[in-house]
Amino acid sequence: MAIDASTVILAARNSTNNIVFSNFDPKYTSWESPIPCPWQGSSSPKWSDYLLCGWKGILDFEKSEQFGISFLLYGTIPPSSGLSSSSSLVCVSALATLCLIVQGDPFQHISRENFAHLCAKSEPLIGTLSGGMDQAAEVLASEGTALRIDFNPLRSKNIELPENAVFVVVHSNTELNKGATSHYNERVIEGRIVAQILKREFSLSTPSFRLKDIQTLSGKSFEEILKIVEEIIPEELTKDQVIELIGNDKLEECLTENTRKFTNFKLRSRARHVFSEAHRVELFESACESKDIKQMGVLMNASHRSCAIDYECSCEELDAICELYTKHGALGARLTGAGWGGCAVVLMAADDVANIEKLPSLFVSKPGQGIRVHRF
């Protein structure tokens, strides 16, 4: 779901033949470049690189020449918090650039689904192997509902939440910039290696690395695929062992330029998390539809345990937050975003919010509206 915190960009063409990025927050230095700007990406992104990522994605999509632009950015999403602040920069920059190229409603020119997909596919320019969920939530969300997101093709479904469900966002005071760390990309590569092993096991010729696609094509239920994972997927392999198992060519298909340095891979526990988390999504949707807020909390707690133990993307501070809030009446709590710091999302019954008034929190939110444009 989208949240009340937001990223806002004021955009206009300028006559200086320069690209100018400014930020209301003085700790972020303004950035400027004459056109043509030679930017082709960054492996250690600064705030301006995220804007350039969205800008370049749209220019390439529209086959547009560069032109002078001025962006002024203001945001209330805490950086490196797991609340998709970096993806929001890409999305608002892309939308602002598009609005300076086309007239009228930009989503009459490109569908929201295709726009979200374009933003996600642009993020490798800043070193992130994004799966696309952050961008989809930011672009497709509707006020008052959660969003079920599926991929290939990207599609979404609004999910009504129980009226008494309230979400509290709590910062762990530990920040991890996923664009500046290998942890996030390492999990992506481990999932791809598992996909290669399962494709060989099921004699599948699909080019997809998505474990959901592999499960669907194999015709296996969640229970069946989890059993197979336990039986045939090794827990941990070195790079040489992976090559011995699937071949160097198949490993090369999994890697990207900035992930070739990886030498060890955890596989079974990563696959167990991905498949079990996908199953929890199905169960969570059912719990929402039946207004079973307690079951929603049970599933959130199970999700966090899986993130912490199998995917190893939590941290001591996030674990402590989840434990603290559940002790004070929360129905469920889990980390949000890439993990390794940032925020936890806590599910409360509205009548119980008073129980946590003295506990630290960032804000309380109902589901918010996705990205939109105001022309003036």
- Residues 38-46: what's their mean pLDDT? 87
Q: What is the pLDDT of residues 268-312, one digit of tens each?
A: 999 999 999 999 999 999 999 999 999 999 999 999 999 999 999
Please state, in angstroms and rounded to a whole number, the distance separating the CA atoms of residues 189 and 201: 19
Share of the chain above pLDDT 70, in %: 91
Instruction: Identify whether 134 is a catalytic site residue.
Output: yes
Per-residue model confidence as pLDDT tens digits over 125-154: 887 766 777 888 889 888 778 889 888 788
CATH 3.30.230.10, the chain: domain bounds: 7-145
Over residues 248-267, mean pLDDT: 91
pLDDT at 100 over 90: yes
Arithmetic mean of pLDDT over the chain: 89
HEC assignment per residue over the chain: CECCCCEEEEEEECCCCEEEEEECCCCCCCEEEECCCCCCCCCCCCHHHHHHHHHHHHHHHHCCCCCCEEEEEEECCCCCCCCCHHHHHHHHHHHHHHHCCCCCCHHHHCCHHHHHHHHHHHHHHHCCCCCCHHHHHHHHCCCCEEEEEECCCCEEEEEECCCCEEEEEEECCCCCCHHHCCHHHHHHHHHHHHHHHHHHHHCCCCCCCCHHHHHHHHCCCHHHHHHHHHHHCCCEEEHHHHHHHHCHHHHHHHCCHHHCCCCEEECHHHHHHHHHHHHHHHHHHHHHHCCCHHHHHHHHHHHHHHHHHCCCCCCHHHHHHHHHHHHCCCCEEEECCCCCCCEEEEEEEHHHHHHHCCCCCCEEECCECCCCCCCC
> What pLDDT does 13 receive?
96
19: β partners: 33, 69
- Sorting pLDDT into bands at 50, 70 and 90, what band is 1? very low
What would the pLDDT profile of 302-317 be if each residue is shown by its tens digit? 999 999 999 999 999 9
pLDDT at residue 82, as a whole number: 45
> Which of 4, 49, 105, 134 does the annotation list as catalytic?
134
State the pLDDT at residue 253.
Answer: 93
Q: Which CATH number is associated with domain 7-145?
A: 3.30.230.10
Q: Which pLDDT value is given to residue 367? A: 61
Contact in structure between 46 and 142 (CB atoms under 8 Å): no
pLDDT of residue 363: 55
Which comes out higher in pLDDT, residue 26 or 360?
26
pLDDT bracket for residue 181 (50, 70, 90): low
Task: Tell me the CATH architecture of domain 182-272.
Answer: Up-down Bundle (1.20)
Domain with CATH 1.20.1440.340 in the chain: 182-272
